[in-house]
Amino acid sequence: MSEFHVDMGPQYEGEAIRRENVQVEFGGPKIPHKFELVTLKGLDEVEHEKIEVIGPDIKDIEEGASSPLAILIDVAGEELEKDMEPVFERRIHMYSNYIEGFWHVAQRDDIWIRLDKAAFKKGLNSLREIGEILIFLFTSELDIIEKISVTFITDGEKVKELLPNALTVYEARDARARDLGDEDVDEFYGCILCQAFAPTHICFITPDRMANCGAISWFDGRAAYKLDPEGPVFAVPKGELLDAARGEYAGVNAVAQEKSLGSVEEVYLYSSFGRPHTSCGCFQSICFYIPEVDAFGIVYRDFIGESVIGLPFSKMAGETSGGRQVEGSCGMGLEYLRSPKFFQADGGLRRVVWMPKDIKERYKDAIPEDLLDKIATEEDVKNTDELTEFLERVGHPWVKGEVEIPD
């Protein structure tokens, strides 16, 4: 588009920006406070096409530096529904990646964005222009949106102040799907939004299995499909239940084969072994197998340092991602920890032996009370030798042989 300093389009999705080419980075593991949030408002509450930048803009930030960021998008339209907020929010990822030299990964309070030096040299030196492009893409692709405004906040104190409200909104969205099980619905949803980065990846979104990015629940999938039936989210008729323990459905297998062009033939929704769900690159966390104790650990995107197997998240993500089925290493949304079907075929939560302290704290209501003290964190153990000793000492149910594996 000639009015912008850089080009845009789906051809730029999947473009990676290496550390040495970064002009500026927003969010990411080094920045504790960052998020993106779309809010539905009344038509009289949104000033159409208003863009605000609060805090230092791209051109004011030192080359190569990382900055906090909140992206607040308000939308209004007669036909818009509250359910559509997370759908629009996920489009921030898609449309940001349409921008030449601009890279967006993850979601919600995990966002990580990079602008490359070449795009900056072309004149893309203000978040205001990113806002203009996003508004152009949102309104041209989703004509149901009548009004839209975008606010970027890079003032760290302000982002920190607003983050708790965003977390409350995310929690309310996730809570909706908790009373529903996979057996209660006839249809799941699939998402191929991340195929630009992982060409054989399909997320299967079910009441019991939140999307890998942790940003699309079954309700959000339903809203996305209703909003844009030709878009990246589509309906998946469940079909026959082939294996209840592993969560294998004929309908899921058929869609996996079709959308991966034959690369993925079968998918187990509730097992990390055999035919596990594929992983793109946007997953919120990884459930990983620890051979020394024949059990699982959980690590997430913002975890700093090395997990109990001696690898940082970035390295483990590289080995998990790309749209492959990697046995014993599955990308997942953290909300899946709350699911009664969480890797049930492998022993579920009772086979989890390690996770970062703050994840344990955030999800302690989902962990059986008798298990809470028996899952090690980075504060308890530093390696698998220490983990083995810890599990024996606390009497973890997995090492005591008390966990049943369904046939």
- Of 215 and 267, which has the nearer Cβ to ligand SF4? 215
Does 90 interact with ligand SF4 (rule: CB under 6 A)? yes
Structure tokens at 188: 């799941």
Distance CA 187, CA 218 (A): 9
- Of 270 and 398, which has the nearer Cβ to ligand SF4? 270
Does 267 interact with ligand SF4 (rule: CB under 6 A)? no
Q: Which of 194, 255, 309, 330 binds ligand SF4 (CB under 6 A)?
A: 194
Which of 266, 278, 316 is closest to 296 using CA atoms?
A: 316
Site for ligand SF4 in 7-36 (CB under 6 A): none
> How many C-alpha atoms does 298 have within 13 Å on its Cβ side?
27
Structure tokens at 318: 């590289």
Report DSSP letters for 287-327, one per residue. Answer: EEEETTTTEEEEEETT--SB-TTS-BHHHHHHHH-SS---T
Amino acid in the structure at residue 110 = D
Does 213 interact with ligand SF4 (rule: CB under 6 A)? yes
Q: Which of 37, 169, 203, 269 binds ligand SF4 (CB under 6 A)?
A: 203
Does 212 interact with ligand SF4 (rule: CB under 6 A)? yes
Q: Which of 22, 75, 150, 280 binds ligand SF4 (CB under 6 A)?
A: 280
- Is residue 123 classed exposed, middle or buried when 0-12, 13-18 and 19+ CB atoms within 10 A define those classes? exposed
Q: Name the one range near ligand SF4 by CB under 6 A: 41-49, 213-221, 293-301, 390-398.
A: 213-221
Q: Which of 31, 38, 99, 216 binds ligand SF4 (CB under 6 A)?
A: 216
Q: Which of 130, 211, 255, 359 binds ligand SF4 (CB under 6 A)?
A: 211
Number of residues that bind ligand SF4 (CB under 6 A): 12
Does 71 interact with ligand SF4 (rule: CB under 6 A)? no
Q: Name the one range near ligand SF4 by CB under 6 A: 64-72, 125-133, 150-158, 210-218.
A: 210-218
Distance CA 13, CA 197 (A): 7
- Of 99 and 191, which has the nearer Cβ to ligand SF4? 191
Which of 353, 355, 349 is closest to 393 using CA atoms?
A: 353
For the chain, how many helices (H) and strands (E)? 10, 17
Site for ligand SF4 in 281-320 (CB under 6 A): 282
φ/ψ of residue 296, rounded to 5: -120, 155
The footprint of ligand SF4 (CB under 6 A) covers 90, 191, 193-194, 203, 211-213, 215-216, 280, 282
